[in-house]
Amino acid sequence: MNGENGLQQKPRDERHKEHSSAEGTSHPEAVSEHKESGVEDVVEKAQLAVAAALRPWYQSSRWGRILLVVYAILLALFALLAWWVSYHPILPIDVLITQQFQDNQSPWLHNTMVAVSLIGDVVPLFIGLIVLAATLFWLVDLRLEAVMVVALSATSAILNALIKSIVARPRPAPDLVDVIHSTTGSSFPSGHVMSYIAFWGLIFAFTLILFKGRPWWRTTLLIVSGLFVVLIGPSRIYLGAHWASDVLGAYLIGGFLLGMALWIYLDLKGRGVLAPRGKRARHFHEKYVKSRIPTLHAVVHDPSSDPFLACIVPTMPTMCLMCDCSWMSKHSA
């Protein structure tokens, strides 16, 4: 009897072991499937969150749309101003502004206005300054920035000559205002203003974008370049070299050109074109150059990442739309 019970107990024990073994093997599989399902849910939610965060700012942000409208107005104003002065070379408001400004003949104002324009008056000096800046950028392994300095200044000079030949506006006459600094060529738009925005404006932008900390030379670059951009317009009016409308037109088209240059620069920087080699000026980069430079994509989709660039990049709305059309079609759903 005991032998029979023992024989019956063995099959029961074997079946129990097989059942336990089956449960043991199926449980890890169920846990694994559950984990994979959870990971997929997390990834999907993250993708949706990223897609929502990367929604083009010019579609969802009222601030961005306002900037685009403002820039379109500025371009329209430049075209209208160029057309108007080509048919009306002498504007009463221009004469009045220059006369009122020149009424102040204090020595400090006179010397300041002459000094501000001096660099642009001496062409070899200004070219040498451009070459010097490009060389310094190249020596510290910022090769793309060096190329941009030369390219923007050259483009600005060519564009200025082209517009002047089309508009063909005469310069202020001595019988209307005091021509302190006599010069030749057409008047609209001011070549000094355009060249200063192209060079000093780009230096100002690069100083903000690239360099970190508060070394004395960074602060000096920001102050000097900013003052040159701001004061060159009044300087040309005070010296009787340009009308106020010439200066206004130059600021408009010069700002447009600077915006385009920065848009191209950010795009090339994001693609790694002429990236630092990591061998030269390594100590300089570690100490002064930001490790993370805002990319065009980041600035366009998140203006808060760099407020300064966000005010400039919107000046290229058409290019931004062309650049992001594929992205928009992917994430608009």
Q: Does 199 fall in a domain?
A: yes
d(CA 276, CA 291): 11
Shared domain check, 117 and 210: yes
Chain position carrying tokens 């993708």: 47
- Looking at residue 282, what is its pLDDT? 56
Among 36-50, 81-95, 196-210, 241-255, where is mean pLDDT lowest? 36-50
CA dihedral of residues 153, 156, 161, 166 (deg, nearest 10): 180
Q: Given a cut of 90, is residue 4 above it in pLDDT?
A: no
* Mean pLDDT, range 101-120, rounded to an integer: 91
Shared domain check, 66 and 40: no
Q: Given a cut of 90, is residue 50 above it in pLDDT?
A: no
Structure tokens at 117: 């324009």
- Read off the pLDDT of residues 258-308 as tens digits, 9 standing for 90 and up: 888 888 888 888 777 777 666 655 555 554 565 555 544 444 444 444 555
Q: Does 51 fall in a domain?
A: no
Considering 21-30, 134-143, 300-309, the range whose residues carry the highest mean pLDDT is 134-143
Q: Does 83 fall in a domain?
A: yes
**301 Cβ contact list (under 8 Å, min separation 6):** 54, 55, 56, 57
d(CA 56, CA 6): 77
3-state helix, strand, coil in the chain (%, to 5): 80, 0, 20
CA dihedral of residues 233, 236, 242, 248 (deg, nearest 10): 0
**150 Cβ contact list (under 8 Å, min separation 6):** 130, 131, 134
Cα separations in angstroms, 101 against 36, 89, 110, 134, 184 = 75, 20, 11, 36, 22
* Number of structural domains found in the chain: 2
Give the phi and the psi of residue 152 in degrees, each rounded to 5: -70, -40
Shared domain check, 119 and 88: yes
Structure tokens at 283: 């100590």
- Looking at residue 142, what is its pLDDT? 86
**124 Cβ contact list (under 8 Å, min separation 6):** none
Q: Given a cut of 50, is residue 239 above it in pLDDT?
A: yes
Shared domain check, 11 and 157: no
Higher-confidence residue of 28 and 133: namely 133
Is the N-terminal amide bond of 317 cis, ω within 30° of 0? Answer: no
d(CA 280, CA 155): 29
Q: Given a cut of 60, is residue 109 above it in pLDDT?
A: yes
Shared domain check, 316 and 200: yes
Shared domain check, 97 and 10: no
On whether the CB atoms of residues 285 and 276 are closer than 8 A, the answer is yes
- Looking at residue 241, what is its pLDDT? 92
* Mean pLDDT, range 205-214, rounded to an integer: 82
Shared domain check, 11 and 90: no
* Mean pLDDT, range 129-150, rounded to an integer: 91
d(CA 311, CA 325): 21
Give 72's pLDDT tier (boundaries 50, 70, 90). confident
Q: Does 332 fall in a domain?
A: no
Q: Does 269 fall in a domain?
A: yes
Give the phi and the psi of residue 278 in degrees, each rounded to 5: 85, 0
Domain encompassing residue 248 = 61-327
Shared domain check, 186 and 79: yes
d(CA 305, CA 312): 13
User: Does this model's pTM top 0.75?
Assistant: no
Shared domain check, 32 and 72: no
Q: Does 55 fall in a domain?
A: no
Chain position carrying tokens 């409208």: 69
d(CA 4, CA 58): 86
| 278 residue type, one letter | G
Shared domain check, 120 and 163: yes
- How far the first Cα of the chain sits from its last, in Å, is 76
Q: Given a cut of 60, is residue 120 above it in pLDDT?
A: yes
Q: Does 333 fall in a domain?
A: no
Shared domain check, 78 and 37: no
Give 242's pLDDT tier (boundaries 50, 70, 90). very high
Shared domain check, 128 and 204: yes
* Average pLDDT along the chain: 75
Q: Does 54 fall in a domain?
A: no
Chain position carrying tokens 């690069």: 206
